[in-house]
Amino acid sequence: MTPPQEPQTPREPTQRPRQKDRPWLMRTYAGHSTAEASNALYRRNLAKGQTGLSVAFDLPTQTGYDPDHILARGEVGRVGVPVSHLGDMRRLFQDIPLEHMNTSMTINATAMWLLALYQVVAEEQGADIAQLQGTTQNDIVKEYLSRGTHVFPPGPSLRLTTDMIAYTVSHIPKWNPINICSYHLQEAGATPVQEIAYAMSTAIAVLDAVRDAGQVPEEKFGDVVARISFFVNAGVRFIEEMCKMRAFGRIWDQITRERYGIENAKQRRFRYGVQVNSLGLTEAQPENNVQRIVLEMLAVTLSKDARARAVQLPAWNEALGLPRPWDQQWSLRIQQVLAHESDLLEYEDIFAGSHVVEKKVDELVAESLAEIDRIQEMGGAMAAVESGYLKSQLVASHAERRARIEAGEEKIVGVNIYETTEPNPLTADLDTAIMTVDHAVEAKVVRAIGEWRTTREESSDRQGLGDPFHYPTTRQAIERLKEAAAGTENLMEATLECVRAGVTTGEWAGALREVFGEFRAPTGVSSAPVAVTAEEGSPLALVREKVRRSGEELGGKLRLLVGKPGLDGHSNGAEQIAVRARDAGFEVVYQGIRLTPEQIVSAALAEDVHCVGLSILSGSHAELVPDVLARLREAGAADLPVIVGGIIPSADAAQLKAAGVAAVFTPKDFGITEIIGRIVDEIRQANQLDPLEVPA
């Protein structure tokens, strides 16, 4: 007999636990000194759990010069790794299997060249290039506006970008051939609306150019859209930055669907990587930068629907100089703690349904679309660059931001509020709190490229290819490149031939310079509106009076030359000094970026200026500033005061002053009006005028 059954309690339906999201790619922007040193750094970072590479190239590589070019002096290996030819690229990625790596290369004007080098090294490793994954930044518009490593005019630059996109879609389909970069726009002062609008206008210009070039079949245009990626900035205003990313995604979806007819939602996804804001990192109380970095990272990771695909964080001491490997490790660990210790990746979007977020996103979308329409009415992003509109808008926005900081309206802890501080153990020995590049590195790299040319020459001679002094194989590849550039064919194949022939970075760019010419972007200074009013009794009014009276005593209007020697294209600081000096009553001579010391001294003498101001953020001040001083002495103008601004360690600042520099300003000197007043004081002292007190 069967015993009676117990009544069955209904079971809850079995729910499978939600699968945890994959973490974003974790990168550290890195590279310095030499290919060998950078390779060792990459392998150490990968061993520490970094999941992708982000290559920083030095300024000669970025601007298409070999390390022995006059403009490269003092810049070799400073802000990134020098890559002058195929041999350097081999050493940079030695023992790193490129077929299994995701590599981001921050390179723009010479992006095609660096991608070709990367492809050939991968082929030599035995990789299937169709499997290569990574990104070339390749956004030339923001170089014209903010970063300053442009080379060619807008038309040819857009052609290089178009050719790269067409080539990668066919041959390296997993590669992102462009990373439209609004990061540096924010660094140059862009508001969230400007950041969105200018980046989207760039994307429209690029996609229109690819579509109209006819190199990609219409049925594959969705693949082009799917490989467009973005690189954005995340500032410390958490809510605004997170909403900005949601607005970016919404506008991109609308543009790609309505303007280009992309029906596949996956191809319309807004794919972006991020580096959080370096502009807001402070030299004063730099330990505060750690919490700034964390807060900025949360803005691009907390919201699943607007989460970055890749994140790289600056280091706490970037406002002081080049971070050390330990500093980079700290930034990597910040990401790893959030991704692996918190429960962030276990939930759906935690901001979905927030009326606060939706309202802010709606506002950003509407204002950004209006600005995009305004730019399209001008003829698009390239026309707005050439007219100077975009640059002048950024200079004005940055000037307004600086004015708010100086007035205390925009508060920065440790800078304009809560300035009292305990001694900082992190910077107790400031000279060891950052990494320095040995001055001998440049000479070593210069020797190495000479050896490369000699070896290349001997190899050609042994093959019986003719007069070794003319590098026949190399010359043929360069001539082939020029012919292609003068015509309409895709330039990638001719560039690959140059790589395999041993052509150098400077030779490749030099050949294209011959065909395309060079471009000096508008500075935006003359058209920038007044950001700080000179109302009676205001700090600027007092400085204006000092400028006026000093000019009268010296027999005319005070004249200031603002110079950017070398290849450093970070012109934001120089532009802000130039604008404020103009508003204070100076006649300002500012010719933009990328000048030799000889050109700066010649301009100073020709314009009969009362002071020379040099702005250098790349670390080349130790070589370039003494050169300017020496040339002024040789010209009989040793009494002309020279001031210097930039990221300059205290020991270097002391050496510059000992060499004859009148004053050194660093990021902690945020009061621009005060700096202009100091410049007037230095002019008076150099001309043996009595100190001038202007009553308030």
Give the residue numbers marked as catalytic. 29, 183-184, 564, 568, 570
Residue 275 CA to residue 523 CA, distance in Å, equals 25
293 Cβ neighbours under 8 A, 6+ residues apart = 276, 281, 313, 314, 316, 331, 334
Label the pairing between strands 310-312 and 272-276. parallel
Q: Report how far apart, in Å, the C-alpha atoms of 409 and of each of 284, 404, 406 are.
A: 18, 5, 8
Q: Which two tokens stand for residue 317?
A: 């001491």
Listed residue (291, 263, 262) closest to 276, CA to CA? 291
487 Cβ neighbours under 8 A, 6+ residues apart = none
- Enumerate long-range contacts of 264-269, CB under 8 Å, 24 or more apart: 264/222, 264/226, 266/226, 267/222, 267/223, 267/225, 267/226, 268/225, 269/226
* Helices of type H across 125-191: 141-142, 154-171, 183-187
Q: Taking a C-beta distance cutoff of 8 angstroms, is the pair 584, 538 a contact? A: no
3-state helix, strand, coil in the chain (%, to 5): 50, 10, 40
Listed residue (212, 107, 96) closest to 150, CA to CA? 107
Evaluated on CA atoms 214, 476, 514, 509, the torsion sign reads positive
Q: Taking a C-beta distance cutoff of 8 angstroms, is the pair 79, 572 a contact? A: no
Q: Which two tokens stand for residue 293?
A: 């970095």
Burial, 258: exposed, middle or buried (Cβ in 10 Å; 0-12, 13-18, 19+)? exposed
Listed residue (647, 504, 666) closest to 568, CA to CA? 647
Report the first-to-last Cα separation within the chain, whole angstroms.
Answer: 109
Q: Which two tokens stand for residue 332?
A: 């990597």
Residue 650 CA to residue 619 CA, distance in Å, equals 13
Q: Report how far apart, in Å, the C-alpha atoms of 404 and of each of 408, 420, 460, 676 are.
A: 6, 21, 62, 17
Q: Taking a C-beta distance cutoff of 8 angstroms, is the pair 461, 468 a contact? A: yes
Q: Report how far apart, in Å, the C-alpha atoms of 627 and of each of 566, 621, 634, 645 are.
A: 11, 10, 11, 16
Residue 55 CA to residue 38 CA, distance in Å, equals 9
Give the three-class secondary structure for 21. Answer: coil
Listed residue (644, 487, 636, 639) closest to 565, CA to CA? 644
Listed residue (628, 689, 623, 617) closest to 661, CA to CA? 628
Q: Which two tokens stand for residue 279?
A: 């502009």
Residue 195 CA to residue 190 CA, distance in Å, equals 6
Residue 594 CA to residue 569 CA, distance in Å, equals 7
Residue 622 CA to residue 74 CA, distance in Å, equals 8
Evaluated on CA atoms 549, 555, 557, 563, the torsion sign reads negative
Place of tokens 């505060």: 288
Residue 614 CA to residue 597 CA, distance in Å, equals 10
Q: Which helix (H) or strand (E) holds 231?
A: strand 228-234
